[in-house]
Amino acid sequence: MIVYEQARDGVLAKTGGHYPAPLVAIKVVRDGLSKALPEALELEAREFSKLVVGDVAKGLISIFFTKNEVEGRAAKLAKGARKLDRVGVLGAGFMGSGIAQLLARKDVTVLMKDRDHDALGRGLKNCQSLFYGLVKRRRYTQIEAKMAMSRILPRVDYEGFGSTSFVIEAVFEDVAIKHKVIREIEEVAPDNLIFASNTSTIPIARLAEASRRPENVVGMHFFSPVHKMPLLEIIRHPKTSQEALATTVDVGRKMGKTIIVVNDGPGFFTSRVLGPFVNEALWCLAEGARIDAVDDALTGWGWPVGPLALLDEVGIDIAHHAGAVMAEYAGARVGVSPVFDQMIAAGRLGRKGGRGFYRYRHEGKKKRVDEKVYELIGWRESALDKAEIAERCWFQMLNEVARTIEDGIIENPKDVDLGVIFGFGFPPFRGGILREADKVGLGEIVDRLDRYAEKHGERLAPAQLLRDMASKGIRFHKD
């Protein structure tokens, strides 16, 4: 029986026990070997029938059909797209070079520009590294990788942009810098230039203020790493033209992305709903939960990575900057945890700086909790139940999802569920955040949020949409 125990342990290590099918398969093989063939087949059929009507199967099946529906809508939106022979990418950092490399993989000629040869060299090195990975995994031959790499044309000036009518901007997340880039490119590019910004938080209408043709400015929010994350969030502001939207969707489809189109607003959809989730994790830390306990609570609930480890990976400074943009518009409702400012003041930026909530220097790939964080934030241990930590975090995400629906940022519940799963890893076996909310029951969720708000503050008060739907017995999904 050792082989079965090892197989079971391997499955549990990979799935956390959230996916019952492989465990049942191991059990059926083990038990079936001791039975006659008809009995073994009956056992298999009986166990399969239980799985196929279970919540996990329903959730995963719903994702499959939702993905097909969303991709069908994107195909319709792409009708009327402009024909492009090349695409410009402004910024050769990690995101910009990742975008350029993926475009080149899809047979698109790319002009990749940055401010100097050093920055451009780092971007090209990242592109080469990504292609090398494809060769190593035998997805590309050496010749195919070199040919694809040759489609990336490096620039430190705007040479060649005079005939480039579509550019993707991936520079630093600062309004003034992005405005400067818009003005510069419009001096040299064709009059029909479509400018797609990879901003993750800044309203597109605000960026369009610097453009002579605001109708050709659109948001094109990629997720990191670009070559792995399937979602692309495209943002239209009130003046975005149909041609600009269609062309942007078409480019995203050529890159192999699953696309949701949302309306404009600070943080759009994905960044806006992720913020309160991470913020609540920081509040749990401040209230006395250990760093690893917070992350374990969420990975135990099904997330691929805990929120504090995620902050370290993204960069605490980047998340802090995004949070500041959101707080500018959302005001006191956000209730930003003081831990953010304390970490920034101490120069803790996450993995890239060698220290964040975890230590990375001299640890190799393994990370360890940095105990110095506790002293830094004035922490006193207090036992917080892991179930409460997980619940508060995903409830806060749900709260913000409801507000984005109230504000008209996003409308279709299927876009919501696909966005949180494909954008930042909401547990797929749950079928999406709105499907999970329907399963738990909005009345129950509103009651729990009210209790949390009474104990921990008004930031946890349920959104009005949740109250209204709970009082009327309405679900997000009809099926």
Q: ∠140-142-145 over CA atoms, to 5°?
A: 60
For residue 92, the tally of other CB atoms under 10 A from its CB is 31
382 burial (CB, 10 Å; 0-12 / 13-18 / 19+) is exposed
Cis ω on the peptide bond leading into residue 304 (within 30° of 0)? no
Sorted by sequence, the CB contacts under 8 Å of residue 161 that are 6+ apart come out as 88, 111, 113, 155, 167, 185, 188, 189
| Alpha helices, H only, 16-116 | 20-32, 37-52, 55-77, 94-105
Distance between CA atoms of residues 431 and 424, nearest Å: 14
- 20: amino acid identity, one letter: P
Query: What's the Rg (C-alpha) of the chain?
Result: 24
CA 185 to chain CA centroid, Å, is 29
Q: Does residue 221 have an active-site annotation?
A: yes
Find tokens 């949740």 and name the residue: 466
Cα–Cα dist 292/271, whole Å: 24
Do 116 and 158 touch, CB atoms closer than 8 A? no
User: Looking at 117, 221, 362, 456, which residue is catalytic?
Assistant: 221
Closest CA to 69 of 259, 269, 227, 273: 259
Q: Measured between alpha carbons, how far is 189 from 195 in angstroms, rounded to an integer?
A: 10
Q: Could you count the other beta carbons within 10 Å of the beta carbon of residue 57?
A: 18
β-pairing verdict for 231-236 and 217-222: antiparallel
166-169 vs 194-197, strand pairing mode: parallel
Closest by CA position to 257, among listed 479, 74, 5, 35: 74
Burial class (CB in 10 A: 0-12, 13-18, 19+), 352: middle
Terminal-to-terminal C-alpha distance of the chain: 42
- Put residue 83 in one of left, alpha, beta given phi > 0 → left and psi -120 to 50 → alpha: beta
Contact status, residue 198 vs residue 103, Cβ threshold 8 Å: no
Catalytic residues: 221
